[in-house]
């Protein structure tokens, strides 16, 4: 009777020690026999249990099965935690041969301890730690045994392999375009499809967008929206830095492309392969510092002055290049407002010696003068559809400057000193 008690006591101790090693959480059973877990090392709270979010699953026509998802930090534990801020992507592959691959892809900053066990017996069978340099950990099970391997990645594309495509790509926001091309055995090069998983803004003002590329099922039999080929996490840092992180989670070589700011040509590209799974593209976000709608790369030659930008009106002879054409424009005689009516000849003033004549003046019909510079004197008589609103015998086209007041019209008697221009002579007596 004592032996079973001792055995149970020892087993409980082992479980307690093991539990302390991988946090308070219990992980998750992704199938009835496969268990996975992740614990995040945070500067704020030390070890915290990551939360599992299953993304989807699918079976291929060949009999393989894929399950994908990610672990994230709880917002109850840290300010940057969010269901839409993955910390470690997971893709599990159940091969038709019976092999099971559990792939962890580190997409965060803190170290993350990952676990798996198959068949699950209450004690983690495989344990490893992912970091910013050790981005990929693979646990796999075959012939009743468990194995593990880890891969260091620096984010640089492999040497000697060049991305040669020019895919249309997808805009993810903030003028950033990304794309991926999959090199398949069946159809050669195919453009990957983008699936946006989500986005979030942290308490610190950082923005994250995540998703993945997958093969179009119209192109290959194993293509599916629930079979990611390339995980993507984009980090828009509050400092203006943009990190585009690509994680190869498939077998074929996959070309990756990033362009910022978008200009019809990809600024950065590379090829992810089985031995070089992680590629990172970094950009510095351009800010419109003066809020005029233009950044420096968009042609703003003085991004601290909102009056200076490519869409501004150039003022001649002031020594300032308002429209960013490369130089201040020299003044021409036609650029001078001689009658001080607010318009120069270049601005449409057809008589720059008379302040009553300019493009915004009211044209008096039948006086032989083109006051509004519309290439002719207005004919007298009501215009088409026009009515005499105040019944004083004159319409606006006939010179009534206030067609809501019958005492004001071109034939009215001017009363001096009342601040009203009764006869529309453009001034008070």
Per-residue pLDDT tens for 385-415?
678 888 877 787 777 778 888 888 788 888 8
Domain-located, residue 356: no
Angle at 67 between CA 15 and CA 76, to 5 degrees: 60
Q: Please tell me the total count of domains within the chain.
A: 2
Contacts of range 128-136, beta carbons closer than 8 Å, 24 or more positions apart = 128/104, 130/88, 130/104, 130/105, 130/106, 131/106, 132/106, 134/106, 135/105, 135/106, 135/247, 135/277, 135/278, 136/103, 136/104, 136/105, 136/106, 136/247, 136/277, 136/278
pLDDT above 50: residue 165: yes
Q: Are 100 and 119 in contact (CB under 8 A)?
A: no
- Strand-pairing partners, residue 390, are none
Bridge partners (DSSP) listed for residue 207 = 201, 236
Identify the pLDDT of residue 4.
39
Q: Is 267 found in the same domain as 147?
A: no
Residue given tokens 């990172």 in the structure block: 280
| End residue of a domain, out of 250, 284, 318 | 284
**135 and 183 housed in the same domain:** no
- This prediction's pTM: 0.67
Query: How many Cβ atoms are within 10 Å of 45's Cβ, its own excluded?
Result: 11
370 Cβ contact list (under 8 Å, min separation 6): 350, 357, 363, 376, 377
Burial of 205 (0-12, 13-18, 19+ CB in 10 A): exposed
Predicted confidence band at 330 (pLDDT cuts at 50, 70, 90)? confident
Same-domain status, 46 and 128? yes
Quote the CA–CA distance of 261 and 95 in Å, as a whole number. 41
Whole-number Å distance between alpha carbons of 226 and 220: 14
Among 229, 215, 227, which Cα is nearest to 66's? 227
Q: Do 113 and 32 lie in a common domain?
A: yes
The predicted structure's pLDDT at residue 23? 45
The residue with tokens 């990645």 is 153
User: Are 145 and 243 in a shared domain?
Assistant: no
| Residue 190, domain extent | 170-284
Residues 146 and 177 in one domain: no
Residue 293, in any domain of the structure: no
Contact 400, 424 (CB under 8 A): yes
Are both 65 and 119 inside the same structural domain?
yes
78 domain-assigned: yes
Which residue(s) pair with 173 in the sheet? 176
Domain end (from 254, 284, 314): 284
Pair (33, 114) in one structural domain: yes
Q: Do the domain assignments include residue 194?
A: yes
Query: What pLDDT, in 10s, does the model give residues 232-253?
Result: 999 999 999 999 999 999 988 9
Picking from 241, 94, 242, 115, the residue whose alpha carbon sits closest to that of residue 172 is: 242
Say if residue 174 is in the same domain as residue 242.
yes
What residues does 265 pair with on adjacent strands?
A: none
Q: Cα-flanking dihedrals φ and ψ of residue 422, to 5°? A: -65, -40
∠ CA 372-378-383, rounded to 5°: 120
Render pLDDT for 180-220 as a digit per residue (tens, 0 to 9).
999 999 999 999 999 999 999 988 899 999 999 999 999 99
Whether 253 and 171 have beta carbons less than 8 Å apart is answered as no
Same domain, 135 and 179: no
282-310 pLDDT, tens per residue?
Answer: 998 777 888 888 888 788 899 899 999 99
């Amino acid at each position: 009777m004592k032996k079973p008690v001792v055995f149970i006591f020892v087993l409980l101790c082992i479980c307690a020690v093991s539990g302390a090693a991988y946090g308070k959480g219990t992980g998750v059973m992704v199938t009835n026999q496969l268990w996975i877990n992740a614990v995040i090392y945070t500067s704020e709270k030390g070890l915290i249990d990551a939360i599992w979010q299953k993304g989807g699953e699918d079976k291929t026509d060949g009999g393989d099965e894929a399950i994908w998802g990610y672990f994230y930090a709880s917002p109850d534990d840290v300010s940057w935690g969010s269901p839409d801020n993955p910390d470690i992507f997971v893709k599990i592959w159940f091969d038709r041969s019976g092999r099971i691959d559990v792939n962890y892809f580190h997409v965060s900053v803190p170290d993350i301890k990952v676990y798996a066990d198959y068949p699950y017996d209450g004690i983690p069978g495989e344990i490893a730690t992912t970091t910013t340099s050790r981005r990929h950990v693979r646990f796999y099970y075959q012939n009743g045994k468990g194995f593990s391997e880890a891969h260091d990645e620096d984010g640089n594309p492999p040497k000697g392999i060049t991305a040669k495509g020019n895919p249309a790509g997808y805009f993810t926001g903030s003028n950033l375009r990304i794309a991926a091309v999959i090199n398949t055995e069946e159809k050669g090069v195919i453009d990957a499809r983008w699936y946006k998983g989500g986005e979030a803004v942290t308490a610190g003002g950082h923005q994250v967008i995540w998703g993945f590329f997958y093969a179009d099922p119209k192109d290959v039999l194993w293509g599916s929206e629930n079979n990611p080929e390339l995980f993507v996490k984009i980090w828009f840092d509050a400092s203006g830095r943009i990190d585009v992180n690509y994680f190869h989670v498939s077998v074929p070589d996959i070309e990756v492309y990033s362009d910022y700011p978008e200009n019809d040509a990809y600024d950065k590209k590379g090829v992810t392969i089985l031995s070089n799974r992680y590629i990172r593209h970094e950009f510095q976000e351009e800010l419109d510092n003066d809020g005029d709608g233009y950044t420096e790369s968009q042609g703003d030659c003085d991004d601290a002055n909102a009056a200076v930008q490519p869409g501004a009106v150039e003022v001649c002879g002031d020594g300032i290049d308002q429209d960013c054409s490369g130089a201040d424009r020299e003044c021409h005689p036609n650029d001078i407002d001689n009658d001080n009516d607010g318009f120069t000849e270049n601005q449409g003033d057809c008589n720059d010696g008379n302040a009553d004549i300019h493009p915004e003046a009211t044209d008096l019909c039948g006086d032989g003068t083109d006051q509004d510079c519309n290439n002719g004197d207005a004919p007298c008589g009501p215009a088409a559809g026009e009515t005499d609103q105040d019944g004083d015998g004159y319409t606006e086209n006939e010179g009534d400057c206030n067609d809501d007041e019958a005492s004001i019209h071109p034939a009215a008697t001017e009363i001096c000193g009342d601040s009203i221009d009764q006869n529309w002579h453009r001034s008070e007596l």
